Amino acid sequence: MQEKQLGNRNSYSKTDPDATFMRMKEDHMLNGQLKPGYNWQISTENQYILGYTIHQTANDTNTLQSHMESLKENLGQLPGILIADAGYGSVENYEYLEKNNVETFVKYQYFHKEQSNKWKADPYRTDNLPYDQDSDSYTCPMGKKINFVQEKVRITDNGFRLLNRIYQAQNCGRCPVRESCNKSRGNRRIEINPRLNYYKSIIKKQLCSERGIKYRRQRPADVEAVFGMIKGNRNYRRFLLRGLEKVEIEAGLLSLAHNLGKLANKN
């Protein structure tokens, strides 16, 4: 009975079986506390809420596609442009957006760190290792080859198939820079997702373009401000109802009240 209630989630609350335990930064030290909750996703434009969805997972990555499909159902079409932070950047989501002709300005993990001089100057980082397409191998800072050894398949929670390629160096034991290059006991192994690297090269150009910089600056003021108004200005920091269906209705009423308040202030 409990496994049936749990489904694909990793936890649920006894007081609200539809809720999943998530880390909430509610204590004064902002250390994070595990509490039952729901992941509320919204799409906005000019601080108006265009659509919302409620999810039973703390992982934003897994919410994007179902949220976009809900948006499509309500609006009749998908938006032409999507701006989002790195929590939504994944091969699965990039491929979905590409297939649906959505112009994408969605960050990937470590996007900002990649722009730093420290990151670019580090010769031991996987992203900075020279790659030879003819031999399908990478070269370490000491000039040794890191050769392909096997493929690794992983299935995401949404059933998406990820294919990674594993490369391994040889004779790392006596390397004079081993401590800086390889933290494991054996020879260095690196894991590459060619599809992700392909999308990262495209997304990076988008994000660093003039439009991309403009959208990146606009996103926090457009999206985060809406949650700030609801949680801060209206002091609505938690759902009052229990159960997924009721919480979805509650979120809808909050979204409606927010939009009506914006219209009233505008007039």
One-character DSSP codes across 26-86: -STT---EEEEE-EEEEEEETTEEEEEEEES-S-GGGGHHHHHHHHHHHHSS--SEEEE-G
| H/E segment holding residue 139 | strand 137-139
Is 140 inside a domain boundary? Answer: yes
d(CA 143, CA 137): 12
State the pTM of this model: 0.90
Helix, strand or coil, per DSSP, at residue 135? coil
Is 159 inside a domain boundary? Answer: yes
CA-closest candidate to residue 39, choices 27, 21, 26, 25: 21
Is 150 inside a domain boundary? Answer: yes
Confirm if 146 and 121 have CB atoms less than 8 A apart: no
Four-point Cα dihedral 92, 85, 67, 254, nearest 10: 170
Per-residue confidence (pLDDT) for residue 25, from 0 to 100? 74
Confirm if 225 and 47 have CB atoms less than 8 A apart: yes
Is 184 inside a domain boundary? Answer: yes
Per-residue confidence (pLDDT) for residue 28, from 0 to 100? 63
Is 180 inside a domain boundary? Answer: yes
Per-residue confidence (pLDDT) for residue 72, from 0 to 100? 96
Half-sphere exposure of 257 (CA within 13 A, CB side): 12
Tell me, what DSSP letter sits at residue 183? -
Helix, strand or coil, per DSSP, at residue 137? strand
Per-residue confidence (pLDDT) for residue 216, from 0 to 100? 94
Range(s) of the domain holding residue 178: 125-195
Q: What is the DSSP string of 211-228?
A: HHHHHHHHHIIIIIHHHH
Give the mean pLDDT per block of 10 residues along the chain (267 residues). Answer: 71 87 75 87 95 94 96 94 95 97 96 93 94 94 94 90 95 89 90 96 96 94 92 89 96 95 84
Per-residue confidence (pLDDT) for residue 135, from 0 to 100? 94
Total domains present in the chain: 1
Is 141 inside a domain boundary? Answer: yes
Beta strand 137-139 with 145-155 is antiparallel
Which residue reads 């979805």 in tokens? 248
Beta strand 48-55 with 137-139 is unpaired
Is 264 inside a domain boundary? Answer: no
Confirm if 222 and 45 have CB atoms less than 8 A apart: yes
Q: What are phi and psi of 58, to 5 degrees?
A: -80, -15
Per-residue confidence (pLDDT) for residue 23, from 0 to 100? 85
Is 155 inside a domain boundary? Answer: yes
